[in-house]
Amino acid sequence: MSEISYQAALEFAAMKHEGQVRKGGAPYITHPVAVAEMLKERGYGLDYQIAGLFHDLLEDTDATEAEIAALGGEDVLAAVKLLTKTPGYVMADYIASIRENEMAKVVKAMDRLHNLRCAFEAGEKFRRKYINESREWYMDFAPEIPEAVEMLEKSLKN
């Protein structure tokens, strides 16, 4: 169980993502917040929500493993590390590792779902790549993902 509150975790993540923006121009922190909210709506506890807030910290900020462990605990750190793409990663290994950790898998499912729902503002090339990657690797991560992929595909036909 995490030692900090959701609010403290949010403040840390917001500070680390400060100045970063999403493709549509929104502050980047809106993405981890949305992932955490999706986890909460589905009944996942504080540790999962904090992992949702922290899921991109190692990959996209100067946050350290020690900071994440101190704030979120070892289970959160383990999930965040699995969700972090490292240079030269192999997608099959990345996905296989995530599948072995329930927290990482659920956070990745909500991350992918939120990104699919937001990809409409991205260019056609990115949307096609994201659809193909989702079809190949993520369709069974959450029941809503196939529908989100289909909706994004329809956007290419308009």
Contacts of residue 68, defined as CB under 8 A and 6 or more positions apart, other chains included, come to 54, 57, 58, 76, 77, 80
Q: Where are the alpha helices (DSSP H) in the chain?
A: 6-16, 30-41, 46-54, 57-60, 65-72, 74-83, 91-99, 102-118, 124-137, 145-157
d(CA 39, CA 59): 21
Q: What is the secondary structure of 32-51 as a DSSP string? A: HHHHHHHHHHTT--HHHHHH
Q: Give the integer Cα–Cα distance in Å for 39 and 64.
A: 23
Q: At which residue do the structure tokens 């993502």 appear?
A: 17
Which one-letter amino acid corresponds to residue 147? E
- The C-alpha atoms of residue 55 and residue 63 are separated, in whole angstroms, by 11
Which residues are known catalytic residues? 59-60
